[in-house]
Amino acid sequence: MRMKEISLRQDPDLRKELALLARGCDFVLPSRFKKRLKAFQQGQAQAKKEEPVTPALSESIPKFYFPRGQPQANVNIDNLISKIEQIFSQFPDERVTIKEMGLVAKACECPLYWKAPLFHAAGGDRRGHVSVHKFVAMWRKVLQTCHDDASKFLHLLAKPGCNYLEQEDFIPFLQDVVDSHTGLAFLKEASDFHSRYITTVVQRIFYNVNRSWTGKITCPELRRSSFLQNVALLEEEEEINQLTEFFSYEHFYVIYCKFWELDTDHDLYIDQRDLTRHNDQAISHRMIERLFSGAISRDRKVHKEAKLNYADFVWFLISEEDKKTETSIEYWFRCMDLDGDGVLSMYELQYFYQEQCQKLEALAIEPLPFEDCLCQMLDMVKPEIPGKITLRDLKRCKLSHIFFDTFFNIEKYLDHEQRDPLMAARDAETMGQEISDWERYAAEEYDNLVAEETANEQYNDGYDNALDPVDHITCAFDLRNEKRHLFEIPNPHSNLDLDEYEYEDDFE
C-alpha cells in the first residue's frame, strides 16, 4: 500500500531507515523494515477508526420520487382484505359475476365504475366469474405496489408488463358504463351504436389526457387530468349529459351526426372532398390538404389513402370548434408548421393567407394586405423571437383562436372582424370562467338536430311524438333507399371477424 509523503514525515525513524535503504546501506535488515512498516500501517488504520464516520450523501436525502404514488403508513391491508372476503362470503361458492362486482368495488374503497377493471384484472372475463382467492391475491398485490388511484387504475387496465394505457385498454371499462349506467339505458337495445359511443369517449379521453401525443397514457398524465374524478362522478350523476368532458351522450350524438352528414357513401371514412363540405366550405383547401397529410394522425390510411376515419374526425371537430385549449392549439400548430421545425415562419403564414384572400375577393370583400395582417398577428401574439411564432407563444396568447381562424377559416375570420374589439378583449379576460366553446357548440347543435327531427316527424306523421335518444339516431341516419343499413356496425365484443370491419383502425 502506497503511503502519502505527509504520513512518512510523521514517523521520523521510519523516514530515516528508508533514507538509509535508498543509499544502499547493508546494515538495514529487511525484516526490521517490514516490522516497522507494519506497525506504522496499523497505527494509521487505528486512527481512521477513531474518526467519526459521516453518513453518505445519498442516505441523508429523503426519498422524493414515487412513480406509483407515495406509500401511506396508516393503511392496514389485512383489514381491507377482510372486508372484501366478507362480501364474497355472501355469494355461492364465494364467487361473484360482473353484476355483483359493484359491492366488491365499494369494499375495496374504489369508485363504483372501477368494477369492470377489477373484474377483468382478476380474470373474470375468461371464466365469467371471480373467486375470492383469485381476487384477494390480485388486489393484495395492487395495494402493495400501487399507492394512489392513478397507479391502481392504470395497473388494472393496462396489459401485463405495461406501464401505460393504450386506446383498446379502455374498451371493457367503457362497455360496462354503457351496459350499466342509468343515463345510457336507452342504448341497451341499440347495441350496434355501442362501438361508436365507445370510440367517441376513447378519443375524448386521449384528446384531454394524453398531452404527450404518444398514444400511450402514462401514470403522471392520468394524475394531472380530471379523468378519474369524472369516473367517480359516474356513480353520483344519473344524467350522463352533465359529464361533458368525456361521457356526454349529446356530444357523441352531435359528433356522429356531423360525421354521417359528410360520409356520403357511409363507409365510415371521409376523403378531402367530403371534409371540404364541412361548415359550408369554411375551411381552406390548403388546410384540408394538411389534415390528410398525416401531420396530426397515426392512422396509416390518412397518408396512404387520403382518408380520415371516425376517430380522426372526433379530434378534428373538437379542435375546429374550440381553438382555445392546449390540445387544439397543438393540433393546428402542427398543421400550419409545414416544415416541422417548430416555428411558424412568415412564408408559412403567407401560404395559408393567400387562399383566404382569394375567398374574400370571391365574396367582393377587399382583403387586408398580408404585410398589414402580419403586423396585426405579431402584435397580438407578441412572439419571444421577432418574426418567429412558436407553440409556446400561441399557448401564452389568449387570442390564439383568432390567429388560427385568420389563416384558414373564412367564416370565423369574418365573425371576428365584425365583432367589437372590446368584446373580444373581455372574452379573453373571462376565458376559463364559463363553459368552453366546444360545450357551447355541442349544446346548440344538439338542440338544432332535435328540433329538425321533431319537425320531420311532425311533417311525416302529422302529430307530435315523444322523442327517445335512440329515435334521434335512427332518424338521423335513415338511409332510405340505401341498401347498406347503419346497424351493420358490429359490436366490438362480438365474435365477428375484425378483418371484415377494421374496428381497430379507430384506435390507431
Encode pLDDT of 451-471 as tens digits.
988 887 777 665 444 445 555
Residue 348: phi and psi, rounded to 5, are -65, -40
Q: What is the pLDDT of residue 424?
A: 57
Q: Report the alpha-carbon distance of residue 44 to residue 446 in Å, rounded.
A: 87
Determine which of 149-163, 299-313, 407-421 has the lowest per-residue pLDDT on average: 299-313
| Stretch 29-55: mean pLDDT | 63
Encode pLDDT of 377-398 as tens digits.
999 999 999 889 999 999 999 9
**484: confidence class by pLDDT, cuts 50, 70, 90:** very low
Determine which of 255-264, 349-358, 459-468 has the lowest per-residue pLDDT on average: 459-468
The residue ranking higher by pLDDT, 108 or 475, is 108
Encode pLDDT of 189-209 as tens digits.
888 889 999 999 999 999 999
Q: Report the alpha-carbon distance of residue 459 to residue 453 in Å, rounded.
A: 10
Question: Contact 252/200 with Cβ under 8 angstroms?
Answer: yes
Q: What is the pLDDT of residue 12?
A: 60
pLDDT(3) > 60: no
- Nearest Cα neighbor of 131 from 101, 169, 155 is 101
Determine which of 16-25, 266-275, 415-424 has the lowest per-residue pLDDT on average: 16-25
The residue ranking higher by pLDDT, 59 or 401, is 401
**9: confidence class by pLDDT, cuts 50, 70, 90:** low
Encode pLDDT of 323-348 as tens digits.
999 999 999 999 999 999 999 999 99
For cell 306523421, name the residue: 461
Question: Contact 308/270 with Cβ under 8 angstroms?
Answer: yes
Q: What is the pLDDT of residue 75?
A: 74
pLDDT(321) > 90: yes
pTM: 0.78
Determine which of 233-242, 305-314, 337-346, 411-420 has the lowest per-residue pLDDT on average: 411-420
pLDDT(186) > 50: yes
| Stretch 90-115: mean pLDDT | 93
Q: What is the pLDDT of residue 177?
A: 96
Question: Contact 164/148 with Cβ under 8 angstroms?
Answer: no
The residue ranking higher by pLDDT, 492 or 194, is 194
Q: What is the pLDDT of residue 219?
A: 95
Question: At 96, which helix (H) or strand (E)?
Answer: strand 95-96
